[in-house]
Amino acid sequence: MKALVYTAQDSPAVEQVPVPEIGPDEVLVAARSVGVCHSDIDLLEGRYIIPFAYPLIPGHEWSGQVVRVGERVKGLAVGDRVVGECVIGADHFGFSISGAAAEFFVAKESWLHRLPDGLSYTMGALVEPFSVAYYAIVRAGGVDASDTVVVLGAGPVGLAVAAATAAMGATTVVVEPSADRRAAATALGAAHVVDPDGVDELLERVTGGRGADLVVEASGRPPVMARALELVAFQGRVAYIGIDVGREAGAKLGLIQSKELRITGSIGSPGVWPETLRFLAGSGLDLTPLVTQRFGVDEALAALDAAHHPESTIKAHIEFDAVL
Ligand SMILES: NC(=O)c1ccc[n+]([C@@H]2O[C@H](COP(=O)([O-])OP(=O)(O)OC[C@H]3O[C@@H](n4cnc5c(N)ncnc54)[C@H](O)[C@@H]3O)[C@@H](O)[C@H]2O)c1
């Protein structure tokens, strides 16, 4: 079978490797769609938050179909369409253990969730990034049609937040320097999109000077993280999803007290996958505008390259169609 293999640091290759064997409590999954994330590039370049070793098959944003089941597997059958969580005990699928960017891969029943019938394989591979957005909104206390939400940054994560808060009924304002990404935010349901320079004026108009009920920081840039405190309303909420390790920026920290703010951070999406899948199936939300490029397995290196070009790529998917 074919697989995208990180053979060493900065050395990706599409290789022929044996179809893996499964144990009694495991299933063999045929990959269908696999998304490329910043963290896949970090892993290739030698950076990740827990120990790992090459050679390694990446891929943690995926959907697939069960093609073999071990004798002790009770809840899944050949033909089931599935998605899977990334953090599994001490391991991270697609990071510290090999992942989904292969025609076939091994998974355990306990990591997997059935993909609801109405969701395509493309949507399935977007469940992982969407779950990160959904979890952050849950941690912030949720939103409804009474709320104005400002989303700072319209990468895949910020766009997923915007799609979710719009689907939940909130008036959603997306702040993003890239015009293409602002257009994607509109396609996903944002009521207003604006360049960072225009946000004060827009928010004044949309909220009558009250500010945002919830600001979600999804750029990972410290000055933008600081800015969130200025855009939020009295007794509003700020949710930090964007990641930064160690950089600094000046911030008006007194606003936390004087505005009586509630602030949450989030990492990953623990415990919310069943709810996330019900939300996607129930809302009918279409996240496919996030996928700007699709590649076959033979073009997997081009998919990695696309992820280096945020000016033309929001999310690249590698699509598979192998049968046993
Ligand atoms: N908390 C988690 O579990 C989790 C999971 C995945 C990703 N992340 C983090 O979330 C962040 C977003 O991820 P992504 O994949 O969407 O990244 P991304 O880099 O594609 O998106 C960031 C966006 O912020 C925009 N931006 C730049 N300057 C800005 C400004 N002044 N105001 C508003 N927007 C600005 C960029 O143009 C870009 O579109 C990253 O920091 C990533 O590491 C967190």
Q: Which of 131, 157, 200 to mutate to test the pocket of ligand 1 (most atoms within 8 A of CB)?
A: 157
Please provide the average confidence, as pLDDT, over all residues in the chain.
Answer: 97
Splitting the chain (324 residues) into consecutive groups of 10 residues, what average pLDDT does each group show? 98 98 97 97 94 97 98 97 94 96 97 97 98 98 98 98 98 98 98 98 97 98 98 98 96 98 97 98 97 98 95 96 94
In terms of C-beta density within 10 A (0-12 exposed, 13-18 middle, 19 or more buried), how is residue 275 classed?
Answer: middle
292-312 pLDDT, tens digit each: 999 999 999 999 999 999 999
**Counting atoms of ligand 1 from 1, which one is nearest the CA of 154?**
39
Taking alpha carbons only, the member of 87, 14, 72, 94 closest to residue 271 is 87
Measured distance CA(98)–CA(41) in Å, rounded = 15
Please list the residues that pair with 295 across neighbouring strands: 318
Distance 159 CA to ligand 1 centre (A): 10
Q: 62 Cβ partners below 8 Å, 6+ apart?
A: 31, 32, 33, 34, 35, 83, 84, 94, 99, 100, 101, 124, 125, 128
Taking alpha carbons only, the member of 9, 11, 1 closest to residue 301 is 11
Distance 2 CA to ligand 1 centre (A): 32
List all residues whose CB is within 6 A of at least one atom of ligand 1.
38, 132, 152-158, 175-178, 181, 196, 218-221, 224, 241-243, 266-268, 310
**Counting atoms of ligand 1 from 1, which one is nearest the CA of 314?**
20
Distance 232 CA to ligand 1 centre (A): 19
Measured distance CA(29)–CA(24) in Å, rounded = 14
Domains in the chain (CATH in brackets) are 2-126+287-319 (3.90.180.10), 132-265 (3.40.50.720)
Taking alpha carbons only, the member of 84, 20, 86 closest to residue 48 is 86
Distance 99 CA to ligand 1 centre (A): 23
